[in-house]
Amino acid sequence: MGNIHDKKVATVLTEQAAKYIAREAGRETLITPTRSDVSRDGKNATIYVSVFPDAQKDHALAFLKRHKDLFRDSLKKGTRLSRLPYITFEFDYGEQNRQHLDELSKQIEDGAAD
């Protein structure tokens, strides 16, 4: 994502995905869009999500993949994007790794405080 327009589109996609998921997903799993990447030509976009509990990751991704066309229809109605990209959803392993590092850091801090 090189220019400001791509960054704005990515932000809109992440926000709209959060609204759609909050409205359509079940309450037993927390699915949170963390970021979006848009291709240079604007034809494709990947929305990365984190899932809690981790055991529901596959179920959540299957739900999102089934709903990608409905989400795209929601984008048509709820945004003024000139070109609607083809949407894919992926699990955000970077966010999972960040959370793990936070836990390790907290353990180290707690051990140093003793």
Tokens of 66: 């089934």
DSSP reduced 3-state for 72: helix
Neighbours of 26 (CB within 10 A): 10
**What pLDDT is recorded for position 94?**
80
Could you tell me the domains of the chain?
4-113 (3.30.300.20)
Residues 6+ apart with CB under 8 A from 6: 38, 40, 42
Going by pLDDT thresholds of 50, 70 and 90, the confidence category of residue 2 is: low
Distance of CA 76 to the CA centre of its chain: 19
Whether 6 shows a pLDDT value over 90: the answer reads no
Q: What is the pTM of this model?
A: 0.82
Whether 96 shows a pLDDT value over 90: the answer reads no
Per-residue pLDDT tens digits for 65-86: 999 999 999 999 989 888 899 9
